Amino acid sequence: MHLIIDETDIRSTLKDFETLCSFIASNKPMLTASGNLGIKACFELNNLMTYSEANAKKTDHMNRYPSITLYFMTGMNCGFLESQPVGSQKKAVTVTEDYVAFQQMNDFTKYLTLFLAWMRYFNYDELLWIRGLYGTNNIDIALDEIRIIGKPLSIERKDTSLGFSKGYDAIQLLMNINPIIMYHLRDFGIVSFKQEDTVKISKYEDFINKITITKLGLAISTACLTRKFTWVNEIKEDEIYLGYKDDVTKMYENNYEKNLPGSAGFLKPFLECFPKNIVDADAINRMLFPQKGPDSSSMVYEFKVQLDRSCYRVIQCRGDHTFEDLHLAIQKAFDFDNDHLYAFFMDGKRWSHNSISSPDSDKAPFADEVCIVESRLRVNQSIMYLFDFGDEWPFKVTLLKIFKSDSVILHPQIVKSVGESPEQYPGIAEEWYDDDDED
Protein backbone atom coordinates (compact mmCIF):
# COMPACT_ATOMS: atom_id res chain seq x y z
CA MET A 1 0.00 0.00 0.00
CA HIS A 2 1.60 3.25 -1.19
CA LEU A 3 0.56 6.19 0.99
CA ILE A 4 1.08 9.88 0.23
CA ILE A 5 1.20 12.43 3.04
CA ASP A 6 -1.11 15.44 2.58
CA GLU A 7 -1.40 18.87 4.22
CA THR A 8 -3.85 17.79 6.90
CA ASP A 9 -1.40 15.14 8.17
CA ILE A 10 1.32 17.69 8.97
CA ARG A 11 -0.74 20.72 9.97
CA SER A 12 -0.45 20.48 13.75
CA THR A 13 3.30 19.78 13.66
CA LEU A 14 4.02 22.91 11.64
CA LYS A 15 1.53 25.02 13.55
CA ASP A 16 3.06 24.16 16.93
CA PHE A 17 6.68 24.57 15.86
CA GLU A 18 6.01 27.92 14.22
CA THR A 19 3.96 29.02 17.23
CA LEU A 20 6.94 28.31 19.49
CA CYS A 21 9.33 30.16 17.18
CA SER A 22 6.96 33.13 16.83
CA PHE A 23 6.68 33.33 20.63
CA ILE A 24 10.46 33.28 20.95
CA ALA A 25 10.91 35.91 18.22
CA SER A 26 8.48 38.24 19.99
CA ASN A 27 9.55 37.68 23.59
CA LYS A 28 13.22 36.57 23.46
CA PRO A 29 12.72 34.62 26.70
CA MET A 30 15.55 33.99 29.12
CA LEU A 31 17.15 30.56 29.36
CA THR A 32 17.84 28.60 32.49
CA ALA A 33 21.37 27.68 33.58
CA SER A 34 20.93 24.34 31.81
CA GLY A 35 19.92 26.07 28.55
CA ASN A 36 16.18 25.34 28.67
CA LEU A 37 13.20 27.66 28.41
CA GLY A 38 12.18 29.10 31.75
CA ILE A 39 9.04 28.12 33.64
CA LYS A 40 7.12 31.31 32.76
CA ALA A 41 7.72 30.92 29.01
CA CYS A 42 6.80 27.22 29.12
CA PHE A 43 3.56 27.87 31.00
CA GLU A 44 2.51 30.54 28.48
CA LEU A 45 3.51 28.41 25.48
CA ASN A 46 1.64 25.38 26.78
CA ASN A 47 -1.67 27.16 26.30
CA LEU A 48 -0.79 27.74 22.63
CA MET A 49 0.12 24.13 21.77
CA THR A 50 -2.21 21.72 19.99
CA TYR A 51 -1.47 19.12 22.67
CA SER A 52 -1.32 21.27 25.78
CA GLU A 53 -0.50 19.58 29.06
CA ALA A 54 -3.52 19.43 31.35
CA ASN A 55 -3.12 20.62 34.92
CA ALA A 56 0.19 22.34 34.15
CA LYS A 57 1.46 24.57 36.95
CA LYS A 58 3.33 27.86 36.79
CA THR A 59 6.23 26.16 38.60
CA ASP A 60 6.65 23.30 36.10
CA HIS A 61 9.98 23.10 34.26
CA MET A 62 10.36 22.43 30.53
CA ASN A 63 10.71 18.67 30.98
CA ARG A 64 7.07 18.67 32.12
CA TYR A 65 6.01 19.65 28.57
CA PRO A 66 6.85 16.97 25.93
CA SER A 67 5.80 19.03 22.89
CA ILE A 68 7.69 22.16 23.97
CA THR A 69 10.74 20.02 24.76
CA LEU A 70 10.63 18.45 21.29
CA TYR A 71 10.19 21.65 19.32
CA PHE A 72 12.60 23.74 21.40
CA MET A 73 15.41 21.18 21.34
CA THR A 74 14.89 20.47 17.63
CA GLY A 75 14.95 24.20 16.85
CA MET A 76 18.14 24.70 18.84
CA ASN A 77 19.83 21.62 17.36
CA CYS A 78 19.19 22.51 13.75
CA GLY A 79 20.07 26.19 14.11
CA PHE A 80 16.62 27.79 13.86
CA LEU A 81 17.00 29.04 17.43
CA GLU A 82 20.10 30.30 19.20
CA SER A 83 21.10 31.68 22.57
CA GLN A 84 22.45 35.20 22.97
CA PRO A 85 24.26 36.62 26.00
CA VAL A 86 22.36 39.10 28.14
CA GLY A 87 24.82 40.76 30.45
CA SER A 88 27.75 38.75 31.76
CA GLN A 89 25.93 35.67 33.08
CA LYS A 90 22.49 35.18 31.53
CA LYS A 91 21.34 34.14 28.06
CA ALA A 92 18.17 34.63 26.06
CA VAL A 93 16.93 32.73 23.01
CA THR A 94 15.94 34.13 19.64
CA VAL A 95 15.32 32.95 16.07
CA THR A 96 18.07 32.88 13.44
CA GLU A 97 18.39 33.66 9.74
CA ASP A 98 18.09 29.92 9.08
CA TYR A 99 14.61 30.03 10.55
CA VAL A 100 13.74 32.91 8.23
CA ALA A 101 14.87 30.70 5.32
CA PHE A 102 12.83 27.82 6.75
CA GLN A 103 9.72 29.99 6.66
CA GLN A 104 10.10 30.42 2.89
CA MET A 105 9.81 26.66 2.30
CA ASN A 106 6.55 24.96 1.35
CA ASP A 107 4.82 22.98 4.10
CA PHE A 108 5.98 19.56 2.92
CA THR A 109 9.62 20.64 2.87
CA LYS A 110 9.19 22.22 6.31
CA TYR A 111 7.78 19.02 7.78
CA LEU A 112 10.51 16.79 6.36
CA THR A 113 13.16 19.27 7.51
CA LEU A 114 11.86 19.11 11.08
CA PHE A 115 11.46 15.34 11.05
CA LEU A 116 15.00 14.78 9.74
CA ALA A 117 16.39 17.37 12.17
CA TRP A 118 14.81 15.33 14.96
CA MET A 119 16.27 12.09 13.61
CA ARG A 120 19.72 13.60 13.12
CA TYR A 121 20.27 15.93 16.05
CA PHE A 122 17.86 15.19 18.91
CA ASN A 123 19.72 14.01 22.01
CA TYR A 124 17.53 11.78 24.15
CA ASP A 125 20.38 11.28 26.57
CA GLU A 126 19.62 14.78 27.86
CA LEU A 127 16.19 13.58 28.96
CA LEU A 128 17.28 11.90 32.15
CA TRP A 129 14.08 9.99 32.79
CA ILE A 130 14.62 7.64 29.81
CA ARG A 131 18.38 7.14 30.24
CA GLY A 132 19.46 3.51 30.28
CA LEU A 133 16.26 2.23 28.69
CA TYR A 134 17.60 1.95 25.13
CA GLY A 135 15.10 4.60 24.14
CA THR A 136 16.38 5.39 20.66
CA ASN A 137 16.64 1.72 19.73
CA ASN A 138 12.99 1.41 20.67
CA ILE A 139 12.14 4.15 18.17
CA ASP A 140 13.49 2.01 15.35
CA ILE A 141 11.76 -1.14 16.53
CA ALA A 142 8.44 0.63 17.14
CA LEU A 143 8.53 2.19 13.67
CA ASP A 144 9.24 -1.21 12.17
CA GLU A 145 6.31 -2.67 14.09
CA ILE A 146 4.09 0.09 12.70
CA ARG A 147 5.31 -0.72 9.18
CA ILE A 148 4.58 -4.41 9.65
CA ILE A 149 1.06 -3.72 10.97
CA GLY A 150 0.53 -1.87 7.69
CA LYS A 151 -2.81 -0.19 8.33
CA PRO A 152 -4.34 2.45 10.60
CA LEU A 153 -5.08 0.61 13.82
CA SER A 154 -5.80 1.32 17.47
CA ILE A 155 -3.52 -0.34 20.01
CA GLU A 156 -4.37 -0.62 23.68
CA ARG A 157 -1.81 -0.70 26.47
CA LYS A 158 -0.89 -3.98 28.10
CA ASP A 159 1.35 -4.30 31.13
CA THR A 160 2.32 -7.92 30.53
CA SER A 161 4.75 -7.57 27.60
CA LEU A 162 7.58 -5.47 28.99
CA GLY A 163 10.34 -8.06 29.10
CA PHE A 164 13.56 -7.48 27.18
CA SER A 165 13.53 -10.94 25.64
CA LYS A 166 13.79 -11.45 21.90
CA GLY A 167 10.62 -10.45 20.12
CA TYR A 168 9.32 -8.05 22.77
CA ASP A 169 6.81 -5.37 21.81
CA ALA A 170 8.49 -1.97 21.45
CA ILE A 171 5.20 -0.11 21.01
CA GLN A 172 4.03 -1.44 24.37
CA LEU A 173 7.37 -0.54 25.93
CA LEU A 174 7.06 3.07 24.76
CA MET A 175 3.48 3.29 26.00
CA ASN A 176 4.51 1.97 29.42
CA ILE A 177 8.10 3.07 30.08
CA ASN A 178 9.24 5.60 27.44
CA PRO A 179 6.07 7.69 26.93
CA ILE A 180 8.15 10.81 26.10
CA ILE A 181 9.10 9.14 22.80
CA MET A 182 5.48 8.22 22.08
CA TYR A 183 4.51 11.86 22.77
CA HIS A 184 7.08 12.93 20.19
CA LEU A 185 5.82 10.41 17.63
CA ARG A 186 2.38 11.94 18.24
CA ASP A 187 3.74 15.46 17.70
CA PHE A 188 5.08 14.35 14.31
CA GLY A 189 1.70 12.81 13.43
CA ILE A 190 2.95 9.21 13.36
CA VAL A 191 0.49 8.11 16.05
CA SER A 192 -2.43 9.84 17.71
CA PHE A 193 -4.01 9.67 21.14
CA LYS A 194 -6.22 11.83 23.30
CA GLN A 195 -5.41 13.54 26.57
CA GLU A 196 -7.71 11.15 28.40
CA ASP A 197 -5.66 8.23 27.06
CA THR A 198 -2.70 9.27 29.23
CA VAL A 199 -2.46 8.37 32.90
CA LYS A 200 -0.09 10.20 35.21
CA ILE A 201 1.22 8.14 38.11
CA SER A 202 3.68 10.74 39.48
CA LYS A 203 5.06 14.17 38.59
CA TYR A 204 7.41 12.80 35.94
CA GLU A 205 5.93 9.35 35.23
CA ASP A 206 2.94 8.41 33.16
CA PHE A 207 1.79 5.84 30.65
CA ILE A 208 -0.44 5.85 27.60
CA ASN A 209 -3.51 3.61 27.53
CA LYS A 210 -4.30 3.75 23.81
CA ILE A 211 -2.75 4.98 20.58
CA THR A 212 -3.85 4.94 16.94
CA ILE A 213 -1.44 4.43 14.06
CA THR A 214 -1.96 7.13 11.41
CA LYS A 215 -1.64 7.13 7.64
CA LEU A 216 1.37 9.44 7.98
CA GLY A 217 2.89 6.99 10.46
CA LEU A 218 2.57 4.13 7.98
CA ALA A 219 4.27 6.15 5.24
CA ILE A 220 7.12 7.44 7.42
CA SER A 221 7.76 4.06 9.05
CA THR A 222 8.24 2.53 5.60
CA ALA A 223 10.81 5.21 4.74
CA CYS A 224 12.58 4.55 8.05
CA LEU A 225 13.08 0.87 7.24
CA THR A 226 16.56 1.65 5.91
CA ARG A 227 16.94 5.06 7.54
CA LYS A 228 17.18 4.13 11.21
CA PHE A 229 17.12 6.72 13.98
CA THR A 230 20.09 5.05 15.66
CA TRP A 231 22.14 5.36 12.47
CA VAL A 232 20.99 8.81 11.36
CA ASN A 233 21.28 10.34 14.83
CA GLU A 234 24.61 11.94 15.73
CA ILE A 235 24.29 10.99 19.39
CA LYS A 236 25.22 7.32 19.26
CA GLU A 237 23.64 4.99 21.76
CA ASP A 238 24.84 1.46 22.47
CA GLU A 239 24.19 -0.59 19.35
CA ILE A 240 21.67 -2.99 20.89
CA TYR A 241 18.86 -3.97 18.54
CA LEU A 242 16.51 -5.74 20.90
CA GLY A 243 13.77 -7.70 19.22
CA TYR A 244 15.10 -7.66 15.64
CA LYS A 245 15.14 -10.85 13.65
CA ASP A 246 18.53 -11.88 12.23
CA ASP A 247 17.50 -11.38 8.61
CA VAL A 248 16.30 -7.81 9.30
CA THR A 249 19.54 -6.96 11.15
CA LYS A 250 21.61 -8.27 8.22
CA MET A 251 19.64 -6.13 5.79
CA TYR A 252 20.36 -3.05 7.89
CA GLU A 253 24.07 -3.90 8.14
CA ASN A 254 24.39 -4.45 4.39
CA ASN A 255 22.94 -1.02 3.65
CA TYR A 256 24.55 0.94 6.48
CA GLU A 257 27.02 3.18 4.63
CA LYS A 258 24.90 4.11 1.64
CA ASN A 259 21.94 5.06 3.80
CA LEU A 260 23.71 7.60 6.02
CA PRO A 261 22.97 11.35 5.73
CA GLY A 262 24.93 12.92 2.92
CA SER A 263 25.07 9.71 0.90
CA ALA A 264 23.52 9.61 -2.55
CA GLY A 265 19.85 8.79 -2.34
CA PHE A 266 19.53 9.25 1.43
CA LEU A 267 16.37 11.34 1.04
CA LYS A 268 14.75 9.13 -1.61
CA PRO A 269 12.57 6.94 0.67
CA PHE A 270 11.28 10.04 2.45
CA LEU A 271 10.54 11.91 -0.78
CA GLU A 272 8.34 9.03 -1.89
CA CYS A 273 6.02 9.76 1.06
CA PHE A 274 5.06 13.18 -0.34
CA PRO A 275 3.42 14.44 -3.54
CA LYS A 276 5.80 14.16 -6.47
CA ASN A 277 8.39 16.93 -6.88
CA ILE A 278 6.97 18.96 -3.98
CA VAL A 279 9.83 18.62 -1.47
CA ASP A 280 12.93 20.78 -2.03
CA ALA A 281 15.60 18.15 -1.32
CA ASP A 282 18.48 20.51 -2.14
CA ALA A 283 17.30 23.00 0.51
CA ILE A 284 17.10 20.24 3.12
CA ASN A 285 20.60 19.00 2.29
CA ARG A 286 22.05 22.51 2.46
CA MET A 287 20.38 23.22 5.78
CA LEU A 288 20.79 19.92 7.62
CA PHE A 289 23.46 17.87 5.87
CA PRO A 290 26.11 20.20 4.38
CA GLN A 291 28.91 18.32 2.65
CA LYS A 292 32.42 19.12 1.58
CA GLY A 293 32.24 20.40 -2.00
CA PRO A 294 34.20 22.30 -4.64
CA ASP A 295 33.37 25.66 -3.01
CA SER A 296 34.60 24.59 0.44
CA SER A 297 38.20 25.60 -0.24
CA SER A 298 37.17 29.19 -1.00
CA MET A 299 35.08 29.60 2.17
CA VAL A 300 37.01 31.01 5.14
CA TYR A 301 35.88 30.44 8.74
CA GLU A 302 37.36 32.91 11.22
CA PHE A 303 37.49 31.71 14.84
CA LYS A 304 38.32 33.48 18.09
CA VAL A 305 39.98 30.98 20.41
CA GLN A 306 40.35 32.16 23.99
CA LEU A 307 41.31 30.99 27.44
CA ASP A 308 40.10 34.24 29.02
CA ARG A 309 39.40 37.82 27.98
CA SER A 310 43.07 38.79 28.08
CA CYS A 311 44.43 35.78 26.18
CA TYR A 312 43.04 34.81 22.79
CA ARG A 313 43.99 34.07 19.18
CA VAL A 314 42.11 34.60 15.92
CA ILE A 315 42.51 31.73 13.47
CA GLN A 316 41.27 31.42 9.91
CA CYS A 317 40.51 28.03 8.35
CA ARG A 318 39.12 26.84 5.04
CA GLY A 319 35.77 25.11 4.97
CA ASP A 320 37.41 21.86 3.91
CA HIS A 321 39.96 21.95 6.73
CA THR A 322 39.18 19.37 9.39
CA PHE A 323 38.78 19.86 13.11
CA GLU A 324 42.14 18.13 13.44
CA ASP A 325 43.61 21.00 11.38
CA LEU A 326 41.95 23.50 13.72
CA HIS A 327 43.28 21.58 16.74
CA LEU A 328 46.85 21.73 15.41
CA ALA A 329 46.48 25.46 14.72
CA ILE A 330 45.32 26.07 18.30
CA GLN A 331 48.27 24.07 19.62
CA LYS A 332 50.65 26.20 17.56
CA ALA A 333 48.93 29.45 18.49
CA PHE A 334 49.29 28.80 22.23
CA ASP A 335 52.71 27.10 22.10
CA PHE A 336 51.40 23.82 23.49
CA ASP A 337 52.85 20.36 22.92
CA ASN A 338 50.44 18.14 21.03
CA ASP A 339 50.75 15.30 23.55
CA HIS A 340 47.24 14.63 24.87
CA LEU A 341 43.72 13.75 23.78
CA TYR A 342 41.25 16.50 22.97
CA ALA A 343 37.64 17.02 21.92
CA PHE A 344 35.44 19.74 20.47
CA PHE A 345 32.12 19.95 22.33
CA MET A 346 29.77 21.46 19.79
CA ASP A 347 27.15 22.60 22.30
CA GLY A 348 29.78 24.22 24.53
CA LYS A 349 29.07 21.79 27.37
CA ARG A 350 32.05 19.89 28.74
CA TRP A 351 31.70 16.08 28.40
CA SER A 352 28.44 16.29 26.45
CA HIS A 353 27.72 13.63 23.82
CA ASN A 354 27.62 16.29 21.10
CA SER A 355 31.35 16.15 20.45
CA ILE A 356 34.05 15.62 17.82
CA SER A 357 36.91 13.60 19.25
CA SER A 358 40.64 13.31 18.61
CA PRO A 359 41.58 10.47 16.23
CA ASP A 360 43.27 8.51 19.04
CA SER A 361 40.09 8.33 21.13
CA ASP A 362 37.47 5.61 20.95
CA LYS A 363 34.42 7.81 20.32
CA ALA A 364 33.33 8.85 16.83
CA PRO A 365 33.01 11.18 15.02
CA PHE A 366 36.74 11.86 14.75
CA ALA A 367 38.32 15.26 14.18
CA ASP A 368 40.40 14.17 11.19
CA GLU A 369 37.23 12.99 9.39
CA VAL A 370 34.92 15.99 9.93
CA CYS A 371 35.41 19.12 7.84
CA ILE A 372 34.48 22.47 9.32
CA VAL A 373 31.89 23.06 6.59
CA GLU A 374 30.10 19.87 7.66
CA SER A 375 29.64 21.04 11.26
CA ARG A 376 26.80 23.50 10.54
CA LEU A 377 28.42 26.17 12.72
CA ARG A 378 26.70 29.54 12.75
CA VAL A 379 28.29 32.97 13.08
CA ASN A 380 28.62 33.92 16.79
CA GLN A 381 28.18 30.30 17.85
CA SER A 382 30.61 29.17 20.56
CA ILE A 383 31.90 25.64 21.13
CA MET A 384 34.40 24.23 23.62
CA TYR A 385 37.81 22.84 22.68
CA LEU A 386 39.05 20.77 25.63
CA PHE A 387 42.71 19.72 25.53
CA ASP A 388 44.38 17.27 27.93
CA PHE A 389 41.67 15.35 29.79
CA GLY A 390 43.86 15.26 32.89
CA ASP A 391 44.75 18.93 33.38
CA GLU A 392 41.76 20.04 31.26
CA TRP A 393 42.54 23.17 29.29
CA PRO A 394 39.14 24.57 28.20
CA PHE A 395 39.22 26.96 25.22
CA LYS A 396 36.16 28.89 24.10
CA VAL A 397 36.01 28.82 20.29
CA THR A 398 33.66 31.35 18.70
CA LEU A 399 32.95 31.59 14.97
CA LEU A 400 33.35 35.30 14.19
CA LYS A 401 32.49 35.26 10.50
CA ILE A 402 32.33 33.23 7.30
CA PHE A 403 33.44 34.79 4.04
CA LYS A 404 34.54 33.84 0.54
CA SER A 405 38.17 34.43 -0.41
CA ASP A 406 39.74 34.58 -3.87
CA SER A 407 43.07 33.37 -2.46
CA VAL A 408 43.30 29.84 -1.11
CA ILE A 409 44.56 29.39 2.46
CA LEU A 410 46.73 26.28 2.36
CA HIS A 411 46.90 25.88 6.13
CA PRO A 412 45.02 27.49 9.03
CA GLN A 413 46.37 30.98 9.66
CA ILE A 414 46.87 32.76 13.00
CA VAL A 415 45.84 36.33 12.12
CA LYS A 416 45.74 37.90 15.58
CA SER A 417 47.36 37.13 18.93
CA VAL A 418 46.49 38.84 22.22
CA GLY A 419 48.11 37.99 25.55
CA GLU A 420 50.97 35.69 26.44
CA SER A 421 50.45 31.96 26.22
CA PRO A 422 50.26 30.24 29.61
CA GLU A 423 52.76 27.58 30.59
CA GLN A 424 51.37 24.19 29.65
CA TYR A 425 53.16 22.48 32.56
CA PRO A 426 53.85 25.22 35.15
CA GLY A 427 56.51 24.27 37.68
CA ILE A 428 57.62 21.03 36.02
CA ALA A 429 60.94 22.37 34.76
CA GLU A 430 61.88 23.49 38.27
CA GLU A 431 60.89 20.12 39.73
CA TRP A 432 63.12 18.30 37.25
CA TYR A 433 65.99 20.67 38.07
CA ASP A 434 65.56 20.03 41.81
CA ASP A 435 65.56 16.27 41.25
CA ASP A 436 68.84 16.52 39.29
CA ASP A 437 70.47 18.47 42.16
CA GLU A 438 69.56 15.77 44.63
CA ASP A 439 71.35 13.18 42.50
Region 401-414: mean pLDDT is 92
CA–chain centroid gap for 338, Å, is: 30
CB count in 10 Å sphere of residue 235: 18
Q: Output 89 or 302, whichever has higher pLDDT.
A: 302
The reported pTM is 0.86
3-state secondary structure the chain: CCCCCCHHHHHHHHHHHHHHHHHHHHHCCEECCCCCECHHHHHHHHCCCCCCCCCCCCCCCHHHCHHHHHHHHHHHHCCCEEEEEECCCEEEEEECHHHHHHHCCCHHHHHHHHHHHHHHHCCHHHCHHHCCCCHHHHHHHHHHHHHHHCCCCEEECCCCCCCCCCCCCHHHHHHHCCHHHHHHHHHCCCEECCHHHEEECCCCCEEECEEEECHHHHHHHHHCCCCCHHHHCCCCCCCCCCCCCHHHHHHHHHCCHHHCCCCCCCCHHHHCCCCCCCCCHHHHHHHHCCCCCCCHHHEEEEEEEEEECCEEEEEEEECCCEHHHHHHHHHHHCCCCCCCCEEEECCCCCCCCCEEECCCCCCCCECCCCEHHHHCCCCCCEEEEEECCCCCEEEEEEEEEEEECCCCCCCCEEEEEECCCCCCCCCHHHHHHHHHHHC
| Closest of 142, 207, 217 to residue 178, by C-alpha | 207
Region 311-332: mean pLDDT is 97
For 348-390, the pLDDT digits (tens) are 888 887 899 999 998 888 999 999 999 989 888 899 999 999 9
Q: Give the rounded percent of residues in the chain with a pLDDT score beyond 90.
A: 62
> Mean pLDDT across the chain, nearest whole number?
87
For 163-174, the pLDDT digits (tens) are 544 557 889 888
CB count in 10 Å sphere of residue 329: 21
For 24-46, the pLDDT digits (tens) are 999 999 999 888 999 999 999 99
pLDDT confidence band for 129 (50 / 70 / 90): low
For 105-117, the pLDDT digits (tens) are 999 999 999 999 9
pLDDT of residue 433: 44
Distance in angstroms between the alpha carbons of the first and the last residue of the chain: 84
Are 146 and 171 contacting, i.e. CB atoms less than 8 angstroms apart? yes
Structural domain spans, the chain: 7-288, 296-418
Instruction: Characterize the bridge pairing of strands 393-404 and 311-318.
Output: unpaired
Structural domain 296-418, CATH architecture: Roll (3.10)
- Range of lowest pLDDT (3-7, 83-87, 210-214, 270-274): 83-87
